[in-house]
Amino acid sequence: MTIPFPLQLSQNEALFDWVAGKVALCRPDNVHWCDGSDEEYQFLAQKLVESGTLAPLNSELRPNSFLARSDPRDVARVEDRTFICSKRPVDAGPTNNWRQPKAMKAQLLALFDGCMQGRTMYVIPFCLGPLDSRIARIGVEITDSAYVALSMRLTTRCGDAVLRPLGESDGFVRCVHSLGMPLGEGAEDVPWPCNPENRYIAHFPDSRQIWSFGSGYGGNALLAKKCFALRVASVMARDEGWMAEHMLILGLTNPQGEKKYIAAAFPSACGKTNLAMMTPSLPGWKVECVGDDIAWLRVKADGRMYAVNPEFGFFGVAPGTSYATNPNAMDTLKRDVLFTNVAQTPDGDVWWEGMTREKPPHLTDWRGEEWTPESETPAAHPNARFTARASQCPSIDPAYDDPRGVPISAILFGGRRPGTVPLVFEARDWAHGTFIGSTIASETTAAASGQVGQIRRDPMAMLPFCGYHMGDYLAHWLDIPSSTTPDKLPKIFAVNWFRKGEDGKFLWPGFGDNARVLKWIFERCDGQHAGRETPIGTVPAHGELDLSGLNLSDGALETLMEVDSEAWRIEATSIREHYVLFGEHLPFELRDELEELEKRLA
């Protein structure tokens, strides 16, 4: 087979040889080198419409937008089939699934042998981070999924433009993906090909490779996202002295026009995208979105920490998104969107749970079946997604594609805690902030688990995404101050929007009113507000939190700021049990922080 290669743009022999090797292994019928153009996007979309993978939406209601329905067996990340193939099991750590690299590669080579017969191989050069940024990194994904190629066009900087900064370098991350459903002679294709019985997402951090087989959905197949931008990038960041984090980045501007940038890490279902795209309830304050999911951070020559969003688009969860919760997200989705596993209205638009107060009387659900409000199953899958360019967001920050990145003044950690953790508190220093980040958690409810208050800890919201030993990852955090001075590091805060009263209702209104907490953080970064010292950190003193126009009782505010010593002694015991997981890899500084907390609580 003659392999098309844009020689006019690149003479990269390493890239050509790698692609040629995968063509020989996978044996596709055709090879398509993605150029990233608008014309190519329309070509791929039309091809997917013809194959039944995509359905065009009503062009008057949702221009140039499409709906995909996946195989019901292929709807989310498959953490139990996700592997870190480091040379030693200890390097993967206790929170990852480890496989020996040679054994994993041998198993994958057998699966990939001939896996693209009857299909087209798409070669997608992509860049994570602004093209001319020193922190940007380049990857190439090979896939037999036009849906993946289309999605990568929306979520990354991809195509011919990436070959210029790549040049002749062989320093690109090699990403190989297959649906695992070859089309031999006489075989019939299906709208959503996949191989649920043989799914593997394997990361080889030492050789900077990612191999994915059997799934066509989300992070299993869009290898630039969690696989590269977090799991492999976290190892690159450790080796090169920067940070790859599961964080949003927002710009916050006060009424006087002063602006600060904030990064924030939250586990799932804790409002990360809503915060990144917030419409503040405080007059004169403005929030702009740099990114809603991933941040790459580096200390630069001036001693300050700067962040870039490695992504170029949003791959967000649709259910729960509405004009009440996130109007900027809804406006982002007015056109040029790829929806997956949402419901469809009779007039050719989309709908999902939480989108409107009233449920439509009739829909076609995510499985393609008729649905009414009386149906026992949801209309949209709980993990239904939207994929759109970040530039479409009305509140996108002007610096979202700045190769210099944006200077970070504060880092927030948050979880979903109905009790114990106050609305906001500030860490004493970087080590204390790392301790706080290492302990963030969400609590389950009886409806979810049968046991109220079960704590699930997710250090830095990175538990599923760290590509090496989590204890060593925390040590890397503690090494960061060695590259600068304490006064130039971001201040670290914890927030908790989810504290409840005795009646079980949320005490804090959340959403746009979270700007009131951001205002206090902004002003603390400027040296304003004395705060009130507690055993766990500094909380707002009485009168420091701007509650103007908010109907919040004194009792509610007192509970929101309460630091109950007995509850925190129980918390400290839970943290000690959590730390056992990391064994000898737990940094001594975090043990010291825990002991100091216990002393302050005694």
Under 8 Å between Cβ of 315 and 307: no
Under 8 Å between Cβ of 197 and 181: no
Place of tokens 């690299």: 101
Show the tokens assigned to 66: 């499409």
Show the tokens assigned to 330: 């809804």
Residue 109 burial (CB count, 10 A):
11
SS3 of residue 456 by DSSP: strand
Under 8 Å between Cβ of 134 and 44: no
Sign of CA dihedral 36, 41, 47, 48: positive
Q: What is the DSSP string of 41-102?
A: HHHHHHHHHHHTSEEEPPTTTSTT-EEE---TT--S--GGGEEE--SSHHHH-TTSEE--HH
First to last CA, the chain: 73
> 545 Cβ partners below 8 Å, 6+ apart?
516, 517, 520, 557
Under 8 Å between Cβ of 223 and 142: no
Place of tokens 């989300």: 218
Q: In whole angstroms, what is the distance from residue 114 CA to residue 107 CA?
A: 14
Show the tokens assigned to 518: 């951001």
Under 8 Å between Cβ of 278 and 473: no
SS3 of residue 521 by DSSP: helix
SS3 of residue 423 by DSSP: coil
Name which of 260, 280, 331 is nearest 491 in CA terms: 260
Under 8 Å between Cβ of 331 and 390: no
Name which of 103, 98, 97 is nearest 79 in CA terms: 97
**Cα–Cα distances in Å, from 568 out to 290, 506, 601?**
35, 20, 7
Under 8 Å between Cβ of 208 and 238: no
Residue 149 burial (CB count, 10 A):
24
Look up 270 and say whether it is catalytic.
yes
Q: In whole angstroms, what is the distance from residue 19 CA to residue 368 CA?
A: 37
Residue 534 burial (CB count, 10 A):
17
H-type alpha helices, 299-380: 327-332
Residue 42 burial (CB count, 10 A):
12
Under 8 Å between Cβ of 98 and 467: no
Q: In whole angstroms, what is the distance from residue 57 CA to residue 439 CA?
A: 44
Of 158, 227, 270, 466, the catalytic one is 270
Enzyme catalytic residues = 270
